[in-house]
Structure 1
Amino acid sequence: MIARVIGLGLKILLWFIVVTALWVLAYRFVPPPFTFTMLGDVMSGHSVTKAWTPLSDIDPDMARAAIAGEDSRFCSHHGFDFRAMAGAAARNARGGRIRGGSTISQQTAKNAFLIQGGGYVRKAFEAYFTVLIETLWGKRRIMEVYLNIAETGIGTYGVQAGAERYFRHGADRLSATEAGRIAAVLPLPKKRAAIDPRGFVRSHGNAIAARVGIVRRDGLDACLR
């Protein structure tokens, strides 16, 4: 009886690995058509605006702004930045604004394959999918998917839709300031707006814009070139 249960468990695990690996591999070549976050917007009565745009057609300063604002070691880690996680845990323990230590790879895995909530169970699946996309996609594809499915406003997904919503032009000609403002919106897209930003969004967006040049100068975006 125990042997049968173990055997069934191993079969389920094997099927899970095969199916998820094929799912991730498919998204290496085709755009994710829909995400659970988008589904949540639809179920809440919001329309979804998105426009898939290849990384080559997005101004490089947008990826640099994402690196500056979200994950400065994106090109050097393998999906997890344990130094950033430790730093975020230490800051959160002191109180004040709660900050995460998730990398762009982890955020992409969550956005593409999982729901937003779920606690530690979701985090475990997020880690699993992060390993898969780092292995099967590579950094350029991870950034491309991230910039296309990340929420940039209520019902707005991807930097192309965000650029059109906030600045009335495409993502191919974003300025460093505009890219910085979109990057500042990414952590809390339902509560922030990149156009006429105020308070934290303005100051954080300006700080990110100022660091775009540093990312370029120091080659922190080298894996995307």
Structure 2
Amino acid sequence: MRWLIRFLFKALVGFLGLSLGLVLLFKFLPVPVTATMLMDENGITKDWTSLSNIDRSMVRAVIAAEDGKFCLHEGFDREAIEKAIESNRHGGRIRGGSTISQQTAKNVFLWQGGGYVRKGFEAWFTVLIEQIWGKRRIMEVYLNVAETGIGTYGVEAGAQRYFDKSAASLTPLEAARMAAALPLPKERSVKNPRGWLARHGNTISARIGAVGRDGLDSCVYR
């Protein structure tokens, strides 16, 4: 029993040290690869790009589409989580309550899929990046590691793939279409969306102005 306790204690200390070290490292260095990328059978196309070289419309689009309270919460949107739990309890389409911070923690340090174990690790890494990276760095990393298409990662690679241009030159509508596809990038069309997806992209495009007017991206551009 003592041996087991010592082993678990050492494992815990090792995990805490490793996780803290990785978060500190990626505060300054680009994330070279993620588990999601390595497991992608379609290969990897990516191009790490500084946030200063990504059009502000892209930042505003993902806030409008994914996490309207990005600058207001400390990593977790309790109201969204409660709504997701209530919705899922009644069946139908499963809803998530993850913030951009949580998605970034998962994308960089963990694996895709559900489960309480992964969710626990995700919460730990979310707290770390909120405290150590700050909002601007979280947004920068998110926009560079998020899957934006089949075998495509980051908004720069996505912009080149879909619009033959840099992410620095995206129009609000182009940014909105990319943001609309983020939850299911392998299934949702960016270049030629139709029906609900086209309307959803148009809605996000319209919300981009509201994000700017209301200062919902102020924590990114101080």
**Which category describes the TM-score, using the shorter chain as reference length?**
over 0.9
Alignment gaps of 5+ in structure 2:
none
Return the alpha-carbon distance in structure 1 between the equivalents of residues 75 and 19 of structure 2.
17
1:1-225 superposed matches below 5 A? 2-41=1-40, 44=41, 46-225=42-221
Return the alpha-carbon distance in structure 1 between the equivalents of residues 44 and 97 of structure 2.
28
Deviation at 1:118, TM superposition (A): 4.5
**1:58–1:127 Cα change, 3 Å:** same
Return the alpha-carbon distance in structure 1 between the equivalents of residues 120 and 13 of structure 2.
17
TM-score by length of 1: 0.95
Structure with more of its chain in helix, by fraction: 1
SS at match of 1:52: coil
Aligned residue type for 1:172:
A
Return the alpha-carbon distance in structure 2 between the equivalents of residues 49 and 38 of structure 1.
9
Q: What whole-Å deviation, never above 9, does each CA across 1:16-37 have from its counterpart, x for those lacking one?
A: 1011100111111111101111
Deviation at 1:117, TM superposition (A): 1.8
SS at match of 2:148: strand
Q: How many matched pairs?
A: 221
Q: What whole-Å deviation, never above 9, does each CA across 1:9-56 have from its counterpart, x for those lacking one?
A: 212111110111001111111111011111111xx2x12110001001
Return the alpha-carbon distance in structure 2 between the equivalents of residues 116 and 203 of structure 1.
28
TM-score by length of 2: 0.96
Deviation at 1:193, TM superposition (A): 1.7
Alignment gaps of 5+ in structure 1:
none
SS at match of 2:219: helix
Return the alpha-carbon distance in structure 1 between the equivalents of residues 6 and 43 of structure 2.
45
SS at match of 2:39: helix
Aligned residue type for 1:18:
G
Deviation at 1:224, TM superposition (A): 0.7
Aligned residue type for 2:109:
F
Return the alpha-carbon distance in structure 2 between the equivalents of residues 142 and 200 of structure 1.
29
Return the alpha-carbon distance in structure 2 between the equivalents of residues 111 and 96 of structure 1.
26
Deviation at 1:95, TM superposition (A): 3.9
